[in-house]
Structure 1
Amino acid sequence: MKKTLSMLLAGAMLASVLSGCGGDAGKQGDADKTPDADNGGASTSAAAFKIGGTGPLTGDNAIYGNAAKNGAQIAVDEINAEGGAIQFELKYEDDESDPAKAENAYNALKDWGLQLSLGTVTSTPGAATNVLHNEDRIFALTPSASSPDVTAGVDNVYQMCFADPNQGTASAQYIVDQKLGSKIGVIYQNDSNYSQGVYNTFKTKADELGLEIVSATTFTKDSSNDFSVQIGEAKAAGADLLFLPIYYQPASLILKQANDTGFAPKVFGIDGMDGILTLEGFDTSLAEGVMLLTPFNADAEDERTKKFVETYKTQFGDVPNQFAADAYDCIYAYKAALEAAGCTADMSAQDLCEKMVATFPTITFDGLTGEGVTWDETGAVSKSPKGMVIQNGAYVGM
């Protein structure tokens, strides 16, 4: 991280900060180890910034919510263990990736004393709660809610992840640049802000580049168990590459059902495909050769990534995905912005919001998911995606 940040003074409250914010190494990985019945189970400390988010901790998309929660917790534990002036207290609420439940979860965090938000993990709930964040003047930096609707019309909701338009544009450009396919079949979810948004910009860029889309079919959440029609249309149109701007659960069924019909095109996905290798009951050999754009590679050899992956495996018994890495980066980006703005934990959420709105567009951040990361005043992030291919059950850089 660039050394342009001013350090705050560490006071005599340091010992109590550490004891209340996870400074005990034996309590890493769980924000609720020292519960307080009055605040929903999170540990408390008057000298720590209260930071929280909502995500699907249960239900179909739980792999994303728990990954984000776990990644954020590792960063909080590391920062608190350093004993510096910036300390965090983390709390996540389950929203089951449902907009109404996300609003309730947000209000629960606000009642707890939320000062800084991680927003939502998925996009549709994020589009529902961005208005609440704006009305209450609580700043949000979401790790993974990528739809433009999440930041639309507000000045205090930012993204750590690629916005959907960027993913669609980058995917089309990458397919052309790498000559991955000439006849593209697309299957996307038309009742998902995420999937629809990526497809729209993918099509625009594909048309611009002369990339032929021979088949574009859709499905909904309620029809995501049978893809025979979509696969049949792509196969009949002679598609040599399937572009899947969708989450890993329906993608896993598409891969299986395509294999059952003998249809074997190249497959290209986006960050929502991350997680397919850990899906229970899925034959990972079906994902061999699948390509995707993602900002994080757990197999990277740099020391920062290796340390994060090792810690994540030790604490949670799994390999971290890009949702975990983005949430980890969110916490450290907050630390950088708070230091740069000279913020203290006794400031109100509203005062912190105005400081973050003014500061985030001015900082440059190096993290697990990108170096030289910057934000513009719309809340959109600028960083470079990485092309990955699944080989022998692991991601390998292309």
Structure 2
Amino acid sequence: MARNVSRRSFVKFSGLAAAGMGGASILAGCGGSSSSNGDKTIKIGVLGPYSGDVAQYGLACRYGADLYFEQNPKIGDYTVELNEQDEKGDATEAVNAYNKMSQEGVVGIVGDVTSTPTIAVAQASANDGIPCVTPSATAADVVTFGDNTFRACVTDPFQGKLIADFAAKQGWKTVGSIYNSGDDYSTGVQKAFVEECAAKGVSTPDNLQLGYSAGDVDFKTQLTTIISAGVDAIFSPNYYSDDGKIISQARQQGYTGPVFGVDGWSNIASGGYATASELQNCYYCCSFIANNDDEKVKKFVSDYEAKYNETPTNFCALGYDAAMVLAEGIKVALDGGAKPDDKDFVDKAVAGIAGNKVSGVTGDISFNGTGDPEKSSLIISFDADGNEVVFGSIEA
């Protein structure tokens, strides 16, 4: 489709608001420009929630992206300048931040991060066509609004199907679920999980698929209903702050059976929401853990720990890989002779992403006609000390 990207001139701009860390300064002008010393620059946006209730996810993705661009400060002959915007976990704020980035001349965006704001940005960016690579937004609709939106993570339906296949393989006959009924992520995974369980012969009775509201901290009523039914396992497809409480409260009720979930569990062990003993017999699917023996992963972990003095989570790794996907796609456009100021540059960058394959720290990532990646996933469990360990892997 034809695209017309707005390019206004602005004076020097500081990209972060209320994020707790300084952002890179942005020079005014178009997506590609020359500074006073003659260096050519290219502007890349990094968008996410850096304050608010889901800031831990946004900051993790941002730190991964920052590390990638620190290690790879140039794309072709162009020096990268980052425009980093805090959308505070709000869809309206996300669209406002996207519009600001577009006006300030970014040629690609790493972000957004959580599903609802990412959908809003995908809708807003479809006409402009600026390539957006979300590290972690897993809702199915994210990539359906235009061919410019991609993701480095697997989708909610994929995770739901994958973890249902895992449940069937484990021999669990009856599963109860507790999920956030007002969250796109949780409900998307839950729906796909129930559908795949039906296909695989795993029973998920309607009266044992129980929702809760955002902000709830007491899950004892739902857990009592599920546990008293004698289920083989409990499915908890939420973010780790809720999942940790659910696991802890289930163990307090004397339940020792399996509890399992999806990639929102990442960081559950270090988040302090469940103890090492409570995490025994727990599982989740995810594309990255820090103690993987893969050499690429080991180097990434070492570099990340040296920069931030903490161990990276799955979201950090996905932020790194999303930046890699975007940068490699832009490089294809530059190598083909396009310049950031060209009218059709964003189209060529999108095509570069769609036709490229990168070897990331979360696995090899490629796209086959959609913005959804083709990649494998890990099944993660926990050792006696609460450390994450690879239980197995499943190919896409």
Indicate the TM-score class for this superposition, using the shorter chain for normalisation: 0.7 to 0.9
What are the Cα deviations for residues 204-263 of structure 1, in whole angstroms up to 9, with x where unaligned?
A: 1100001111410001213x2111121011112111211111100111111121122112
* 2:353 corresponds to: 360
SS across alignment from 1:198: helix
- Superposed displacement of residue 129, structure 1: 1.3
* 1:304 corresponds to: 296
Deviates most, 104-113 or 92-101: 104-113
Distance in 2 of aligned mates of 1:170 and 1:67: 25
Determine whether 1:231 maps to 2:219: no
Q: What code does the residue aligned with 2:66 have?
A: Q
What are the Cα deviations for residues 109-154 of structure 1, in whole angstroms up to 9, with x where unaligned?
A: 2233221011311001011111111122211111101111211232
Q: 1:151–1:158: 8 Å Cα contact kept in structure 2?
A: yes
- Superposed displacement of residue 346, structure 1: 4.4
Which of these residues, 40, 54, 60, is aligned with residue 61 of structure 1? Answer: 54
Distance in 2 of aligned mates of 1:249 and 1:352: 41
Q: What code does the residue aligned with 1:360 have?
A: I
- Superposed displacement of residue 157, structure 1: 0.6
Sequence identity of aligned pairs in percent?
Answer: 30
- Superposed displacement of residue 303, structure 1: 2.2
SS across alignment from 1:397: strand
1:220-259 correspondence to structure 2 within 5 Å: 220-222=213-215, 224-259=216-251
**Relative to structure 1, is the Cα distance of residues 331 and 48 closer, same or farther in structure 2, using a 3 angstrom cutoff?**
farther
Q: 1:63–1:275: 8 Å Cα contact kept in structure 2?
A: no
* 2:5 corresponds to: none
- Superposed displacement of residue 354, structure 1: 0.8
Distance in 2 of aligned mates of 1:87 and 1:178: 50
Distance in 2 of aligned mates of 1:37 and 1:335: 19
Distance in 1 of aligned mates of 2:26 and 2:350: 31
**Relative to structure 1, is the Cα distance of residues 326 and 345 closer, same or farther in structure 2, using a 3 angstrom cutoff?**
farther
SS across alignment from 1:257: helix
Q: 1:79–1:86: 8 Å Cα contact kept in structure 2?
A: no
Number of aligned positions between the proteins: 360
Deviates most, 212-221 or 163-172: 212-221
Distance in 2 of aligned mates of 1:122 and 1:154: 18
Q: What code does the residue aligned with 2:64 have?
A: G
**Relative to structure 1, is the Cα distance of residues 318 and 207 closer, same or farther in structure 2, using a 3 angstrom cutoff?**
same
1:189-268 correspondence to structure 2 within 5 Å: 189-214=180-205, 215-222=208-215, 224-268=216-260
Q: 2:339–2:345: 8 Å Cα contact kept in structure 1?
A: no
Q: 1:120–1:142: 8 Å Cα contact kept in structure 2?
A: yes
1:1-398 correspondence to structure 2 within 5 Å: 32=23, 35=25, 47-80=40-73, 85=77, 87-179=79-171, 181-214=172-205, 215-222=208-215, 224-280=216-272, 282-341=274-333, 342=335, 346-348=339-341, 351-371=344-364, 373-391=365-383, 392-398=385-391
- Superposed displacement of residue 83, structure 1: 8.6
**TM-score, normalised via structure 2 length:** 0.84
What are the Cα deviations for residues 258-292 of structure 1, in whole angstroms up to 9, with x where unaligned?
A: 12211222111111110112225653442233211
**TM-score, normalised via structure 1 length:** 0.84
- Superposed displacement of residue 163, structure 1: 0.9
SS across alignment from 2:126: helix
**Relative to structure 1, is the Cα distance of residues 175 and 133 closer, same or farther in structure 2, using a 3 angstrom cutoff?**
same
Q: 2:244–2:273: 8 Å Cα contact kept in structure 1?
A: no
Structure 2 segments unaligned to the other structure (5+ residues): 1-20, 392-396
